[in-house]
Amino acid sequence: MVHPARGNRSGTLVNALLYHIGSGPVRFDEEDDLPEDDEIGLSMVSTGPTEAKLEAPRPGIVHRLDKDTTGLIVVAKDDVTHTGLARQFEHRTIARTYLAIVWGVPDPPRGRIEAAIGRDPRDRQRMAVVPEDRGKRAVTHYEVVETLPAAALVRFKLETGRTHQIRVHARHIGHPVLGDPTYGGRTIRYGPHTPRRKAFYDQLFARLTRQALHAHTLGFRHPRTGEWLEFEAPLPEDMARALEQLRQDPL
């Protein structure tokens, strides 16, 4: 989890950041109770309760990653930086790509998905592709990087930034993210359902306990210096190991 919310008060990125800078936990009931930035050591822009009686301290947080998605995230240490980064995200001038392992091989191998996203009417804990008048515009670009026997390594680029966007759009085109427990990625979707393959994937999912989604690159202009900065996080061990196994899928 990126920041504390109801049911997840500890173990979040914000908790880790506050510990890293030697700050105590941030707690408040009203926006007037917000501490000064220099008391925290991280920007407090755009923080505060998001609903009645809910503490939602989010010091330094400019954007989020889904829980269990690995990779790059940028955190602001002061208000000027926070505001500048937030503006770049709003204007979509941030350059970021994701790598995911998906079931099957998308055809065509490169494309654009445009489909509105909103709450799933059958399960409010999930998101879904919905009619335009019931959701928010969402656009995702994709490109197949490697074709596997029953899956593919795909690079995704977000044009918009909706909740669970890549995972929802991947499922929408029939290629859910491998290992995704929320959007149908933990059952065999392509190829025969033989005992051998079931055992193969049981073993794979015993080690890949999350969606195979990774924030791979992140580029932005430094809010103070104007310098273009670009970062890359290598594929994490669990996804790299899954790729090696998937190349040996006993179809």
Cβ 186 vs Cβ 205: under 8 Å: yes
In a domain, 190, yes or no: yes
Q: How far apart, in whole angstroms, are the C-alpha atoms of residue 106 and residue 10?
A: 38
Mean pLDDT of 119-141: 95
Range from 53-62, 144-153, 222-231 carrying the lowest mean pLDDT: 53-62
Share of the chain above pLDDT 90, in %: 70
Q: How far apart, in whole angstroms, are the C-alpha atoms of residue 109 and residue 115?
A: 18
Which helix (H) or strand (E) covers residue 146, if one does? strand 139-147
In a domain, 221, yes or no: yes
In a domain, 5, yes or no: no
In a domain, 72, yes or no: no
In a domain, 2, yes or no: no
Q: How far apart, in whole angstroms, are the C-alpha atoms of residue 180 and residue 194?
A: 21
Give the predicted TM-score (pTM) of the model.
0.88
- pLDDT at position 195 is 96
In a domain, 68, yes or no: no
78 is catalytic: no
pLDDT tens track for 154-165:
999 999 989 999
Question: Which position among 32, 66, 107, 238 bears the catalytic label?
Answer: 66
Domain count, the chain: 1
- pLDDT at position 47 is 57
- pLDDT at position 73 is 94
- Whether the predicted pLDDT of 28 surpasses 60: no
Q: What are phi and psi of 138, to 5 degrees?
A: -145, 130
Domain ranges, residue 111:
96-246
- Whether the predicted pLDDT of 11 surpasses 90: no
Q: Which residues pair with 118 in a beta bridge?
A: 128
In a domain, 185, yes or no: yes
In a domain, 135, yes or no: yes
pLDDT tens track for 182-221:
999 999 999 999 999 999 999 999 999 999 999 999 999 9
- Whether the predicted pLDDT of 172 surpasses 70: yes
Cβ 177 vs Cβ 211: under 8 Å: yes
- Whether the predicted pLDDT of 78 surpasses 60: yes
- Whether the predicted pLDDT of 45 surpasses 80: no
Q: What CATH number does the domain containing 163 carry?
A: 3.30.2350.10
Give the contacts of 193 (CB within 8 A, at least 6 positions apart).
Answer: none
